[in-house]
Structure formats: structure tokens, C-alpha cells
């Protein structure tokens, strides 16, 4: 498999980071994404396409005899880290050599976690798309590979074929969804090849896309080609160095965007409306925010893209009018 083709497939995979998908999404990907034959064939844990020296993806399975070794934790910079047991047969096995090749050449690969088995889900097994990983070491004593979520350089390596800067930054935003959430932007991990206006546009596209261009509060939607009423709001605002991580975002109509930024309402950690008592002191007309108290908001289907509790807590503490 040529590097360009590999990167194209992995770029498509990144766009679904955090989603929980059926087995068919991995082994019959063409039915969901016509340009990709498959992400993984699910016969064994390691998938190495024919003719490729490197593995394209790996999967951790609930029934694996090595499941105690396949663990996920976070590193000091918030990226996820996991241990992954090699296939039985020693490092001479072709699949294990494919992982070593990825490690030696610092080639990223896709990582999936099995979440339910066939019997549990009353249908197809389901898998979580953990995203792109980078094999950083092999621990001979424990007989495990050490895999970390991709760093900036590795992500740039995969996305460099995307000519449009905004589209490239959108993919980079999706890649964050399974990392540890950080309230504030870390300038050292922001792509220096994408200017601020395009980063803002990418954040807007990702957030609005996850909410299907619909206001999370009133569920108002208007979309006609590029004409969209909904806006993408930062929960921790950019002026306070709020991150572009999609979990720091909400799709809001213009009225509710203004009200949220002004602290006229906030949200509970369970995503319920929390209007400010200050509304009762205001001169209002047809402003029915108080009627929404306790209402659950519209949320993205991808649970990993939902507002993070740390961001909501920051908003309640620093913005909400008590």
C-alpha cells in the first residue's frame, strides 16, 4: 500500500474518532465510505493489507486472552497511551513484524476498541474508534507494544496531503476527541500551518456538523447551501484562551449564543438548561428562556463530541449570572 493511499484512508478514519460503530463499519467500510474498502478485517487483532509491510490498524477484543494487557491511560500531555500484546508466535510472526515496522518508521495506524460482543448487543459487535496511534516502544519484559495517540508531527504526516488548510485543521480537531480534555488552548500543539480565520472556520464546521446545524437549545435549524442560521459557540471563550477542541463547543442559534456568552443561562453536567435568576429582573418580551429550565438539550450522536463537564463547570463558575 502506497504511503499516499494509506494516509488517505487514515484521514477518513480520523473524522470518526470517538464514535461507537458496528463491526461492518470496520470490515465493510465501503458501504459507509465508498472510497475506503475496509479499515480492519476483524479476523485477528492486527490488520496488515496485502502487500504492505506496515499494519494499517489494530483492534483490542473483549475475548482476547491478553485483555489485561490492553489498557488505556493518559500521558502528561493528555494524549492516550495503551499497551498492546503482540500476536502469538513471537516477534517473527508477520503481523508482529508489521507492528515493529510501524514503530521503527514512526508510521501511525488506526486503533479500535471492542465495546460489546455479538450476544451483548443483540446484533453486531460494536467498536469504539480510538483514533490514530503511534507505536513508541516494545517492552520485552512485559511482552507488550506501547502505543500513544499521535503527536502533532505524526498527525501532520497523515494530513499533509489535504491541500485545503481549513479541511486539514478539521481533521486535526477530530483527532483530539479521545485525548484528555484540556480547558485552554496549548499553542505548542496548534498547527502553525493554519491561520486563525481558517481555524475558526474549521471549528465552526466540526461543531455545526456534529449538531446537524441545529441549535442545541431551541432546535431551530435553517440551512440553505452555505447559508446557516446556527453558530458555533466556545464554552470557554477564545478571549480566555479556550481550546478549539469540539468538546468546548455548542451549536446555538444567534439569540441563544448571545445569551450563553452573556451568562443569561448555563448548563448542568447532565446537559440540562440552567437559566439565571437574573432573568426575573430583566425587561423582556417573548424571551422564554425561563420556560426551558431543566430541559435537556440536543446533543451530538457521537458521545465523544459532547460538551465536556470541565468546560461547563468553568462556564457556570466564570460566566453564568448567579
- Helices 165-174 + 196-210 axis angle, to 10: 50
With 0-12 CB in 10 A as exposed, 13-18 as middle and 19+ as buried, what is 248?
A: buried
Instruction: Give me the pLDDT at residue 188, please.
Output: 43
Instruction: Give me the pLDDT at residue 38, please.
Output: 97
Fold of 3-159: PUA domain-like (2.30.280)
Instruction: Give me the pLDDT at residue 69, please.
Output: 57
Q: How does pLDDT run across 234-284, given as a tens digit for each residue?
A: 999 999 999 999 999 999 999 999 999 999 999 999 999 999 999 999 999
Instruction: Give me the pLDDT at residue 21, please.
Output: 96
Instruction: Give me the pLDDT at residue 161, please.
Output: 81
Beta strands in the chain (DSSP E): 20-22, 46-47, 57-60, 72-74, 80-84, 109-116, 126-139, 144-149, 223-224, 227-228, 231-234, 249-252, 265-267, 273-275
Instruction: Give me the pLDDT at residue 65, please.
Output: 60
The CATH 2.30.280 domain(s) of the chain lie at 3-159
With 0-12 CB in 10 A as exposed, 13-18 as middle and 19+ as buried, what is 170?
A: buried
Whole-prediction pTM: 0.91
Report the alpha-carbon distance of residue 37 to residue 98 in Å, rounded: 20
8 A C-beta contact, residue 78 and residue 138: no
**Pairing mode, if any, of strands 223-224 and 227-228?**
antiparallel
Q: How does pLDDT run across 124-160, given as a tens digit for each residue?
A: 899 999 999 999 999 999 999 999 999 988 998 899 8
Instruction: Give me the pLDDT at residue 100, please.
Output: 97
Mean pLDDT (10-residue bins), the chain, 322 residues: 92 96 96 97 94 95 64 86 91 95 97 84 82 96 94 89 91 95 71 78 97 97 95 96 96 97 98 96 92 96 97 98 90
* Torsion sign, CA atoms 256, 262, 267, 273: negative
Can you tell me which residue has the cell 441549535? 215
Question: Helix or strand or coil: residue 15?
Answer: coil
Instruction: Give me the pLDDT at residue 184, please.
Output: 92
Instruction: Give me the pLDDT at residue 23, please.
Output: 95
Amino acid at each position: 500500500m502506497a504511503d499516499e493511499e494509506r494516509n488517505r484512508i487514515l484521514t477518513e478514519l480520523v473524522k470518526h474518532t470517538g464514535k461507537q460503530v458496528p463491526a461492518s463499519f470496520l470490515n465493510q467500510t465501503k458501504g459507509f465510505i465508498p472510497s475506503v474498502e475496509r479499515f480492519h478485517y476483524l479476523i485477528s487483532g492486527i490488520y496488515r493489507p496485502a502487500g504492505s509491510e506496515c499494519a494499517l490498524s489494530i483492534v483490542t477484543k473483549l475475548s482476547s486472552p491478553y485483555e489485561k494487557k490492553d489498557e488505556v491511560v493518559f500521558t502528561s500531555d493528555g494524549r492516550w497511551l495503551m499497551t498492546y500484546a503482540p500476536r502469538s508466535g513471537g516477534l517473527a510472526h508477520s503481523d508482529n513484524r508489521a507492528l515493529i515496522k510501524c514503530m521503527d518508521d514512526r508510521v501511525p495506524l488506526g486503533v479500535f476498541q471492542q465495546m460489546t460482543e455479538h450476544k451483548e448487543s443483540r446484533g453486531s459487535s460494536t467498536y469504539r474508534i480510538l483514533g490514530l496511534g503511534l507505536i513508541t516502544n516494545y517492552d520485552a519484559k512485559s511482552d507488550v507494544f506501547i502505543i500513544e495517540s499521535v503527536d502533532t508531527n505524526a498527525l501532520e504526516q497523515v494530513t499533509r496531503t489535504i491541500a485545503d488548510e481549513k479541511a486539514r485543521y478539521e481533521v486535526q480537531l477530530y483527532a483530539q476527541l479521545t485525548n484528555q480534555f484540556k480547558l485552554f488552548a496549548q499553542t505548542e500543539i496548534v498547527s502553525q500551518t493554519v491561520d486563525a480565520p481558517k481555524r475558526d472556520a474549521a471549528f465552526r464546521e466540526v461543531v455545526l456538523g456534529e449538531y446537524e446545524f441545529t441549535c442545541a437549545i431551541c432546535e431551530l435549524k435553517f440551512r440553505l447551501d452555505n447559508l446557516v442560521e446556527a453558530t458555533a459557540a466556545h464554552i470557554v471563550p477564545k478571549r480566555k484562551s479556550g481550546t478549539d477542541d469540539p468538546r468546548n463547543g455548542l451549536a446555538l442559534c444567534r439569540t441563544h449564543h448571545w445569551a450563553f456568552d452573556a451568562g443569561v443561562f448555563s448548563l448542568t453536567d447532565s446537559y440540562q438548561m440552567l437559566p439565571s435568576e437574573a432573568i426575573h429582573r430583566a425587561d423582556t418580551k417573548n424571551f422564554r428562556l425561563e420556560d426551558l429550565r431543566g430541559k435537556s438539550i440536543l446533543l451530538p450522536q457521537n458521545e465523544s463530541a459532547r460538551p465536556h463537564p470541565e468546560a461547563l463547570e468553568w462556564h457556570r463558575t466564570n460566566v453564568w449570572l448567579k
